[in-house]
Amino acid sequence: MEHAAAPAVAESPPIAWRAYARLAKLDIYDYYLSVPLVAAMVLPGGSAATAATSLAVLLLFLGGEIAMSAAMCTFDDVTGYRDGSDEVNYGPDAPARRLARKPLIAGTLTEPQAIRFGWLSTAACALCWLAALALAPARPLWAVAGVLALTVFGFQYSWWLRISYNGFQEFFLAALGWLFVLPLHGLLTGRFDAFVAVQALVFGLGPLLFGVYSNTNDIPGDRAVGRRTAAVLLPPRGNALFVAGCSALEAALVVGSAVAGVAPWWFPLVMAPVLVLRVRQWHRGFVEGQVLLARRLGIHLHRLSCALLVAVDLSAAGLLTGGLS
């Protein structure tokens, strides 16, 4: 006697929130590290009362950063989906890139869903940052202007003004990091500090120094749609020299600030592992030709750099090693 075939078990539909999390690139948290960095700058020297307010502002600013990054990544994916560049850069001929990171190409989200999510994220960002401004213990004009500039221009990386398509992508990647540090510090302290500015510049170079390797890998797709990155505009040797120059700028900031007396004399010693490994990163990308591995190393180096900067700030405040002079 033949047994009836067991009914097929229907596969569970994908959970929508996972697709939105991939759309927002929540696993790339590198810009969010600006908040613990600023916290290390301001919290050790404050009273309990000011610490509570500062912590609330930090959390609101972090919420705005996450929402802004989600909006920026979402609109970048929509633009890349429309012009076909993501299909080239993440398609079957690019096995090193995970297709699941592009829900529109993978078909797990529709374009209207993505656009709606992008605008909701932009609105959430504006609400968080307005609340942070209202609660901030200080509101110097330059810091308020920085937050407003972030709110207006942050989501336009590949949308409306299409900043990343029009020759300003590299500057945008670095400036986003600068503006995630300096205005927040200003809102909490009311002042502009030279060493904080150096740390902000170093912080902003971190995402740039893995973004330029992504751009090097994405030259065919970006060139096909007219995205004018340095990697597209420069010859291969020129692009390699440009990336080397960005790496050298990071070293110049670290060493030069100590020589000028802006940073502690031991600042370059603490940051030395990052500066040395930048050479390894460049060699891996432009001599060995392993661009995506160099990009991954750049992500780890940015995270290491942030951890070291936090350690520097805590040491300067006397919370580690009794303070160094």
From the list 212, 207, 208, 217, the residue with the least C-alpha distance to 292 is 217
Q: Express each pLDDT in 10-64 by its tens digit.
A: 444 455 889 999 999 998 999 999 999 999 999 987 766 689 999 999 999 999 9
Instruction: State both tokens at 175.
Output: 């400036």
**Exposure letters 285-314 (e unless 16+ CB within 10 A, then b):** bbeeebbbebbebbbebbeebbebbbebbb
Name every residue whose Cβ is closer than 8 Å to that of residue 178 and which is 6 or more positions away in sequence. 200, 201, 203, 204
pLDDT of residue 95: 52
pLDDT at 93 over 60: no
**Distance separating alpha carbons of residues 28 and 183, to the nearest angstrom:** 22
Contact in structure between 309 and 249 (CB atoms under 8 Å): no
Inter-CA distances, 181 with 99, 129, 223, 304, Å = 32, 14, 32, 17
Measured in degrees and rounded to the nearest 5, phi and psi for residue 8 equal -65, 140
Q: Express each pLDDT in 96-149 by its tens digit.
A: 456 678 999 989 999 999 999 999 999 999 999 999 999 999 999 999 999 999
Contact in structure between 163 and 172 (CB atoms under 8 Å): yes
Say which amino acid occupies 178: W
pLDDT of residue 289: 97
Instruction: State both tokens at 32.
Output: 């969010």
- In angstroms, what is the C-alpha Rg of the chain? 22
User: Percent of the chain having pLDDT more than 70?
Assistant: 89
**Distance separating alpha carbons of residues 125 and 67, to the nearest angstrom:** 5
Q: Express each pLDDT in 165-216 by its tens digit.
A: 999 999 999 999 999 999 999 999 999 999 999 999 999 999 999 999 999 9
DSSP string, 148-212: HHHHHHGGGGSSTT-GGGTT-HHHHHHHHHHHHHHHHHHHHHSS--HHHHHHHHHHHHHHHHHHH
**Distance separating alpha carbons of residues 208 and 29, to the nearest angstrom:** 14
Instruction: State both tokens at 312.
Output: 């520097």
From the list 211, 206, 196, the residue with the least C-alpha distance to 274 is 206
